Chains A and B, each alone.
Chain A
Amino acid sequence: MSVAIENIPSQFEVLDQSLESQMTLSMGPQHPSTHGVLRLELQLDGEMVIKTVPDIGYLHTGMEKLFEYKKYQQGIVITDRMDYLNPLGNNLAYVMAAEKLLDLEIPERAQVIRVMTCELQRIASHMVWLGTHALDIGAMSVFFYCFRQREKILNLIEACSGGRMTPSYYRIGGLMMDLPAGFERRVKQFLDDFPAAMEMLETLVSGNTIWQSRTKGIGIITAEEAIDWGLTGPCLRGSGVDLDLRRDNPYSGYEAYDFDIPVEPDGDVWARFRVRMRELYESYKIVHQTLERLKPGPIKADAPKVVLPDRDDMRKHMDSLIHHFLIVAEGFDVPEGEVYIPIEASKGELGVYMKSNGGPKPDRVHFRGPSFVNLSALPVMCEGEMIADVVAIIGSLDIVLGEIDR
């Protein structure tokens, strides 16, 4: 981990006054606690961090360029690869942007299934966060218990979409297919076991005095600074700002659900940890409510020129076959215009800016990744902290480099 850089590349601005005790440390991009390929240029005085310069882009794959060369329905697959811990959230933001341009009405059942799978995905994403965050701080066994819960959710997502990590379950105008038989029973089984698992995790981590002393009072960011730096999601709520887009800019029928928004005032690693732990219970509540609201009905919008027809219809109706051929071969034209769709992903506000010039391919798709913005505030939180705490702060931000670099 510790490699002193003697010839610092010129693009990094470094403080002038070099004391005997000062050094510049390059942390990453292969360091396991940087959650991927993040590199930090740390200016240290002894063990204290004076300045942090994050260096990103190691995972840049030009996805925003690729969107412009793919049809709208092909873009859904690319979004899975951005925030790979919360792929359904990315799918949702992307298809909602296209649906808003097309002015589509989504049936009730599809909305409920979207909310249910998104909340399950949020639990899975938070489980990875908790496991890796604990692993970074030194609690090994939490990781295995968290991944056991995540595995159950991935099995559920695999059952409904066919993919574990890359579901691409949503389609413009609805869903890929309906839930398989017995899916509700399996969700109920998972929900029955979940409170006990959460209680175990709480006792394993929250009550641990080592955990508390490693997280309390570390990496503080005030509410004003958090807003100024554009933090969203649990990081913002950990600074005492009561903001959740599911309640404040409701989408996909979230206004009909009853859930609380956890807020912690302290703004440190512990507060962000508490917000996410409490959020897991809220997601659990929402999934419970979706099971009650799940009624039989259509799962695709009534738009034959956009939504693929059922296989059964294609065998009986000539026009269904024609529509199917045209959608697959040529795509569908989307009216001109631009939209910005924000959703509350597991890490914060995931915004999609989509611009159409008409025609089957988007003119511009921009993803506002919550990790990208949250990471940009890292230097503020790390200033004056110990180098071992930098690891804890990165873990509390819950970043995914696939989304940052796109």
Chain B
Amino acid sequence: MADTTVLLEFVEKLKAEDSAWVNDFKDARGEVTITVPRQSIVDVCWILKTKYGFDMLADLCGADLGPEEDPRFEVNYHLFSTKHYNRLRLKVLLSEDEPNVPTVVTVWKTANWHERETFDLFGVIFDGHPDLRRILLPSDFDGHALRKDYPLRGYEPYSLT
């Protein structure tokens, strides 16, 4: 397994910046996951980008834990540095009643399409996003297809015509 001491240093540095920024962190399989409260995700991303060299957002994806769970949704930010080649995962947990999270388009422009995709497939709303509309599914699509309670074949009866 890969060595994670460098990554854990970043967690300590983040805690030193503001102890409210790190709700929880996990070190598993050589990857470090930091759970960040939703209101401070933009600040954390900005500090990590400008101060600690995580200049690229490699991926942003949502996940549904299931309709009976609370918090129900999670949004994963996979950060990457083109300088020291480390990777870090930030995680924001969201409830079903209020699936809102501030956008990080202001930090990395690449978040634009990733956030649109997550909105399209999970219904997570990114507050402040410049152009939040569906990207993969048609604009009149009903529901959010990657939610666990969305049936595999959709709500409409299956038909080839």
A-to-B contact residues, CB < 8 Å: 9, 11, 13, 56-57, 60, 62, 64-66, 69, 100-101, 103, 227-230, 241, 243, 248-249, 337-340, 342, 349, 351, 353, 355, 363-364, 366, 368, 372-373, 376-377, 405-406
Q: Which of A103, A351, A405 contacts B78 (CB 8 A)?
A: A351
The complex places the Cα of A75 from the Cα of B148 at a distance, in Å, of 18
The complex places the Cα of A239 from the Cα of B79 at a distance, in Å, of 20
Taking CB as reference atom, which chain A residue is nearest B56? A227
Contacts of B63 in A (CB 8 A): 355, 363-364, 366
- A229 with B58: CB separation less than 8 A: no
The complex places the Cα of A241 from the Cα of B55 at a distance, in Å, of 12
- B145 with A340: CB separation less than 8 A: no
Which of B4-12, B14-22, B26-34, B40-48 interfaces with chain A?
B26-34
B125 interface contact, C-beta 8 A: no
- Sampled A-B contacts (23; CB under 8 Å): A11-B139, A56-B135, A57-B134, A65-B145, A65-B150, A66-B152, A69-B152, A100-B29, A228-B109, A230-B110, A249-B87, A338-B31, A340-B31, A340-B58, A340-B78, A340-B89, A349-B58, A368-B59, A372-B113, A373-B114, A376-B112, A376-B113, A377-B110
B133 interface contact, C-beta 8 A: yes
- A366 with B59: CB separation less than 8 A: yes
Contact residues, B47-85 vs A (CB, 8 A): 55-59, 61, 63-64, 76, 78, 80, 82, 85
The complex places the Cα of A141 from the Cα of B145 at a distance, in Å, of 44
- A228 with B110: CB separation less than 8 A: yes
- A57 with B137: CB separation less than 8 A: yes
B-to-A contact residues, CB < 8 Å: 28-29, 31, 33, 55-59, 61, 63-64, 76, 78, 80, 82, 85, 87, 89, 108-110, 112-114, 121, 131, 133-139, 145-146, 150, 152
- B31 with A339: CB separation less than 8 A: yes
A100-B29, A249-B85, A376-B113 known; A340-B136 Cβ under 8 A: no
Contacts of B139 in A (CB 8 A): 9, 11
The complex places the Cα of A142 from the Cα of B158 at a distance, in Å, of 44
The complex places the Cα of A100 from the Cα of B145 at a distance, in Å, of 28
Q: What's the least CB distance linking B65 to chain A, in Å?
A: 8
Contacts of B113 in A (CB 8 A): 372-373, 376
Q: What's the least CB distance linking A363 to chain B, in Å?
A: 7
A229-B110, A363-B63 known; A60-B136 Cβ under 8 A: yes
Q: Which of B29, B131, B138, B145 contacts A339 (CB 8 A)?
A: B29
Contacts of A249 in B (CB 8 A): 85, 87
A230-B108, A405-B136 known; A353-B59 Cβ under 8 A: yes
A56, A60, A405 pick with most chain B CB within 10 angstroms? A60
